[in-house]
Structure 1
């Protein structure tokens, strides 16, 4: 693909206009200048160029556009900020002419017009980006079409794919579901579940992510998180220990340099201090969910069904708020993440223990059990 194109040769940001209610209808046509979120489509003052344009201009690096080839959960950061970093767009092949570009447009003025709609403030901005030489305007380099995911053919006010909404393309065999949002500008992010080889009806809900935030102390009060891989097949996981990134959520007293350990019983399977060191940097970056601070820790590992334990502690005996996360990278249907159980010191305010989980793969409700255990743990510690 041609890069570093002249700024004056950008084409228009168009809308894929349809009349049958299908946002990607083969009977649709490009409606020129109708991507109202983009300056090249007549966007309001303060709007930013879409990630396809910024990539073609060389403003977004090759490493910041992730081409998705396997089912999984992928994190994408807002692209519309001068300080934007990390993965800024997810690219999924549509056909021989174009790709889906899924991105997070957040740095917007919500006081006027279409920007007041909550879908663009929390949903996925989805466009088609055309390959070189395939733009309809022979005098321009490439072009894009906005896809209206909610009211195609009427108003683009709610064009973004909303949280919890699933989009399915039968011809391409792909599907996207926006799972959640997080962070603050200029590092706001969105987690998207992308299915490659998708079916019209999603399979039953699966656990895509397990996490716990707590106060990490020393000695017996380090954070200990247990999880279970259930099923008949091995599972590829990414495990992260987060500290400095918590300041993006306006938290203070965070763990400045978390150290991560993975155990199976008494055996230490892996350790990491600073994710860029340890020989897995390229693979972690490729996952699309690398930590945003170099002092944070991450491990990619393939595990057989069984019970495992993570330990998060502060380097050189430091303490503070920390977050441990387990991501399912392969979505292998024969196995799943079945449980997370975290032991940590429960404090007041920001020091409360907060557990999180993400379910995906289906819009159907799932039954889960959440327990908070205190006295039993105290008895066991005293008995030991």
Structure 2
């Protein structure tokens, strides 16, 4: 029988340390919101493969769809021989994504690829080169993705120089004294000091920051960005890679806002664990690159496309948008009730089931990453998987499957409470 200790030794000998691994054990099997390691120990999954498993591990409809596609064909390269599933999925995303205007969608394999191509499309459509992103942002580990990312450790350390013409402004974080007004003033200063607006192709924003700490973009910020983009001919890009597909209690986080982006990137829970990402946007913008300018050998792989169709069916049929709100309300209430017992809990925040808790030194706003790591470690010891995030690594985020069975969710909440209170 395989054991975790021997597999860890093999991992350390065969794979580089740069691929950071959270768990000191190896998965053997998984089902919905639970997984078991090679030694048979059970864990409740509140990590969701980093927001990939909104429909859970191995949802039967996703498995069936992939098996059926496997029996038909596995690859043709869409640019060589296209297939209907790709077109049908593009049609579905064009309908589902926010914005009452004609849209088009193209598919890739990873979120970072989607970000790279969104920037390419924006530059082709505007004839401009500058891109503005936000502090705390995470947009991938490619060179452009790292340039756009607003968090140095561990993503950018030792990898520079990065592509030019990328600029950052502060993301509003009320807990740490950064207001929407501060952000907008920083943008105006950027236009005065670093780059004129007519050279900016796009402003790229996560409606809820992922790695940055689950900070929610205020509605007034999104309205102001839309006005600014319209005034200067800049494209607004929403990175919905972590927020998409029912996680925030709506299909997309931008559905919480009264304005629509020009381009949107999605990935993660789009295909239930199969590699697939997308860029969806205004039809005339999406058509800016010339034929051959977009694509990839595995982009829109048939297996992933089939999985994505099943995922969208499951979200609709099982009411996961509504369930995200129900689960999120229960978790938020449980966490808020613990504040008096856990003085390090500075803030509980998020939308729907995309929730996080930030830990600071009691009585202040000094980040407390040590306490955060201790809670994560205690939870893992007790069988609950949690992820940290935040520029200071002092935030716990919760990304349990939206299909999680009620008894498992209740058990997970109890384990979380015990980890928080020691």
Both proteins in one fold, TM over 0.5: no
Choose 1 or 2 for highest CA Rg.
Answer: 1
Q: Calculate the TM-score normalised by the size of structure 2.
A: 0.26
Structure 1 or 2: larger helix share?
A: 2
Structure 1 or 2: larger strand share?
A: 1
